[in-house]
């Protein structure tokens, strides 16, 4: 499969192999065991947001599932998830967690830009910082549309456009615009190799979603809870900033029937 991957995907797979060894691998079981669904760096509870449709009995594909804890949370609520991820080490951790906790579902090693699963076979496509920031939006949104049944929903979490606009080349976001919005798309951050990310404006999300047959259902702008503290590892946004401005955005869209 590696021969078919884009240079960006190959580079991102290296990053995630290392991240798995250092952080996500050791942390995975704890995430799988979490009872409440929480969104993003500051873990805004799903019970408060209501961003997901009812998942019981639904076929769900998680695009860029990583260690697949989100799929596990949905499986515990009666969904039938399939996890898709590029990085073998992440999927190996997911398999270890499956065996440990007895929650089994299929895991597919593939890029979310080119998914080897049939058309119209899912009710919900989900991405929590997976395809949503690591894949070319023109490609992965088209794949999500292809994989969904008519009326199916797409829910995905990204760093907010505002947070990216306020991000200096290195360090955490500041209270001042740092870069132009027009032309934003593919990002390579200077300094340590953080791989290749994709961030676009709200207008561009709406254009791409609608071109692929989606209607927008909601855009949840996440606010850090009053007692939130800085995350020990994900330092892009401080808790104080995220209490004042939306640092993360959760999109929900429905494929036209």
Ligand X SMILES: C[S@@+](CC[C@H](N)C(=O)[O-])C[C@H]1O[C@@H](n2cnc3c(N)ncnc32)[C@H](O)[C@@H]1O
Interacting residue ranges for ligand X, rule: CB under 6 A: 9, 12, 16, 24, 64-67, 70, 85-87, 90, 111-113, 128-131, 134-135
Q: Which is nearer to ligand X, 67 or 160 (CB)?
A: 67
Element (H, E) at 159: strand 148-159
Minimum CB distance to ligand X, residue 86 (Å):
4
Minimum gap (Å) between residue 85 Cβ and ligand X:
5
- Our CB check for ligand X shows the closer of 196 and 224 to be 196
| Run of H or E residues at 84 | strand 80-85
Closest to ligand X by CB, 147 or 257: 147
Residues listed for the chain: 257
Integer Cα distance of 52 and 156 in angstroms: 10
How far apart CA 148 and CA 144 sit, in angstroms, is 6
- Closest residue by Cα to residue 63 from 138, 155, 186: 155
Quote the least distance from Cβ 109 to ligand X, whole Å. 9
Quick one: 179 or 233, whose CB is closer to ligand X?
A: 233
Q: How far is the CB of 176 from ligand X (least distance, A)?
A: 27
Task: Give me the residue whose beta carbon is nearest to ligand X.
Answer: 66
CA nearest to 245, candidates 179, 174, 183: 174
Q: Closer to ligand X at the Cβ: 9 or 52?
A: 9
Considering the complex, what minimum distance in angstroms separates the CB of residue 204 from ligand X? 19
In degrees rounded to 5, what are phi and psi of residue 212? -100, 15
Which two tokens mark 106?
Answer: 């299929």
């Amino acid at each position: 499969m590696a021969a078919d991957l884009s240079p960006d995907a190959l580079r991102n797979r290296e990053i995630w192999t290392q991240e798995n060894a250092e952080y996500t691998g050791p942390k995975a079981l704890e995430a799988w065991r979490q009872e409440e669904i929480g969104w993003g760096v500051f873990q805004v509870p799903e019970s408060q947001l209501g961003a997901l449709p009812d998942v019981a009995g639904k076929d769900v594909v998680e695009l860029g599932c990583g260690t697949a804890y989100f799929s596990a949370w949905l499986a515990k609520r009666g969904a039938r998830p399939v996890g898709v991820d590029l990085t073998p080490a992440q999927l190996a951790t997911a398999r270890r967690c499956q065996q440990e906790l007895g929650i089994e579902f299929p895991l597919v090693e593939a890029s979310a830009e080119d998914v080897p699963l049939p058309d119209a076979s899912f009710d919900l496509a989900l991405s929590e910082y997976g395809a949503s920031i690591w894949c070319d939006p023109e490609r992965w949104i088209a794949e999500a549309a292809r994989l969904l049944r008519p009326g199916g929903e797409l829910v995905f979490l990204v760093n907010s456009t505002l947070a990216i606009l306020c991000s200096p080349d290195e360090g955490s976001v500041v209270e001042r615009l740092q870069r132009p919005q027009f032309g934003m798309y593919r990002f390579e951050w200077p300094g340590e190799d953080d791989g290749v990310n994709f961030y676009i404006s709200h207008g561009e999300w709406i254009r791409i979603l609608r071109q692929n047959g989606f209607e927008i259902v909601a855009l949840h702008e996440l606010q850090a809870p009053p007692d939130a503290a800085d995350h020990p590892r994900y330092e892009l946004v401080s808790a104080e900033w995220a209490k004042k401005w939306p640092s993360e955005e959760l999109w929900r869209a429905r494929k036209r029937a």
